[in-house]
Amino acid sequence: MYPNNKLVNTTYAEKVTRYQAQIQQALDRLVLPEQPERLYAPIRYFLGLGGKRMRPVMCMLGYELFAEDSEKALPAALALELFHNFTLLHDDIMDKADKRRGQATVHAKWDENVAILSGDTLFVLAYDQLTYINPAKLPAVMRAFNRIAREVCEGQQLDMDYQGRAEVSLNEYLHMIRLKTSVLLGGCLEIGAILGGADEKQAHLAYVFGEKVGLAFQIQDDLLDAYGDPKKFGKKVGGDILVNKHTFLRMSAEALALGEMADDLKAAYAETDEKAKITRVKALFDTLGVPQKAELKKQELLKLAFGALDQLETTQTDVVHQLKALAFYLVERES
């Protein structure tokens, strides 16, 4: 489907696997107290469930665009992954999601109060990692980190606000997913680049690449939520439909459905039987060509992302290729 798929080469695969292992090792080495058990056991549990670890990988590749010895980016990469895991604990409460990474979510396994507090603690653990970065870069990294963290909260609030609204425009949706998802992916590259010695302009271009990939990544997430293979996806398929979330799929369907079809769509979303609701909504998505529309949007966003990447003044063409390969993977992933 994507013309440059040949970029998904073995150097890329070998490197990503190596970085993922490095990150997991560092997470396993985090020293956590045993007590209170209901505060720390959920953190150990959740960090042990894996996950793709794409944000820290992006941070390390962002660093490598400008410097060697990517290990120096590891504390910041860990901070970003810990922050991401914190957002997931709270997100699963907000989305009433009982499954993630193929297992029970923390609030489902323990309870909501446990997920709130162990989530908060993950946030603190994230900041703690920032104390290990190059002190000369700390103010710039901290400013970027705080901006991103606040924007993710803004996006999550908009996501909640939109859920209670009848209509949401495509621009509003894109604004919301930029905040809840993209700024973090962009920020991983930006922070990696800052640590690697990039100036403001270069760090911003790295950010823009991640931000555009992040938008396509969230559209893929919306697609998987409805069409994913339950054995691979790790989350409940159809969850977004059940909570009437304004996803790219729902909004495209609303834009494409005219007359009777529009009434059918409203009726399908009002269906009370869970299984029937998912089946009816998806049948309408299919008739309206919604998945195809999502594919086109992802390709358009990927082009913008690569445009930013190609403007970078870096001699590391290998890393540029690896970032492109990573982008292809992220928008076609199955989990």
The footprint of Mg ion (CB under 5 A) covers 91, 95, 221, 225
C-beta of residue 211 within 8 angstroms of C-beta of residue 144: no
CA-to-CA dists, residue 291 to 4, 67, 251, 284, angstroms: 21, 40, 12, 11
181 binds ligand IPE (CB under 6 A): yes
Q: What angle do CA 52, 55, 61 make, to 5 degrees?
A: 110
Considering CB distances under 5 to 8 angstroms, the limit depending on partner class, which of Mg ion, ligand IPE, none binds residue 320? none
By beta-carbon proximity to ligand IPE, the closer residue of 116 and 140 is 116
Closest CA to 245 of 332, 168, 155: 168
Least distance in angstroms from the C-beta of 255 to ligand IPE: 20
Query: DSSP E strands: which ranges in the chain?
Result: 99-100, 103-104
Angle in degrees, CA 316, 317, 323, rounded to 5: 95
Q: What are the residues whose beta carbons fall under 8 Å from the beta carbon of 84, sequence distance 6 or more?
A: 55, 184
- Out of 60, 66, 95, 322, the residue judged to bind ligand IPE by CB under 6 A: 95
**Cα 43 from Cα 251, distance rounded (Å):** 35
Tokens found for residue 167: 């209509």
Output the six-digit token pair for 335: 């989990």
Nearer to ligand IPE, 94 or 140 (CB): 94
> Cβ distance 288 to 263 under 8 Å?
no
Of 285-304, binders to ligand IPE (CB under 6 A) are: none
By CB under 6 A, residue 281 contacts ligand IPE: no
Residues 185-204 that bind ligand IPE (CB under 6 A): none
Least CB distance to ligand IPE at residue 95 (A): 5
Token representation of residue 71: 């290990």
User: Least separation, in Å, of the C-beta of 35 and ligand IPE?
Assistant: 27
42, 51, 119, 210: residue in contact with ligand IPE (rule CB under 6 A): 51
What is the DSSP secondary-structure string of 98-141?
-EETTEE-HHHHS-HHHHHHHHHHHHHHHHHHHTTS-GGGHHHH
Q: Which is nearer to Mg ion, 81 or 240 (CB)?
A: 240
Q: Is 91 in the site for ligand IPE (CB under 6 A)?
A: yes
Contact 234, 217 (CB under 8 A): no
Taking CB under 6 A as the criterion, which residues in 65-84 touch ligand IPE? none
Nearer to ligand IPE, 50 or 197 (CB): 50
- Closest CB to ligand IPE belongs to which residue? 51
Q: What are the tokens at 258?
A: 């005219």
Closer CB to ligand IPE, residue 66 or residue 155?
Answer: 155
According to CB under 6 A, which one of 105, 118, 156, 322 is a site residue for ligand IPE? 156
Based on CB atoms, which residue is closest to Mg ion, 107 or 293? 107
Quick one: 81 or 221, whose CB is closer to Mg ion?
221
CA distance 10 to 229: 26
Q: Is 152 in the site for ligand IPE (CB under 6 A)?
A: yes
The option from ligand IPE, Mg ion, none interacting with 51 (CB < 5 to 8 A, set by class) reads: ligand IPE
Q: Which residues, 215 to 274, sit near ligand IPE by CB under 6 A? A: 218, 221, 225, 235
Q: With respect to Mg ion, which residue has the nearer C-beta, 120 or 128?
A: 120
Instruction: Report the interface residues with ligand IPE, using CB under 6 A.
Output: 51-52, 54, 87-88, 91, 95, 97, 101, 152, 156, 180-181, 218, 221, 225, 235
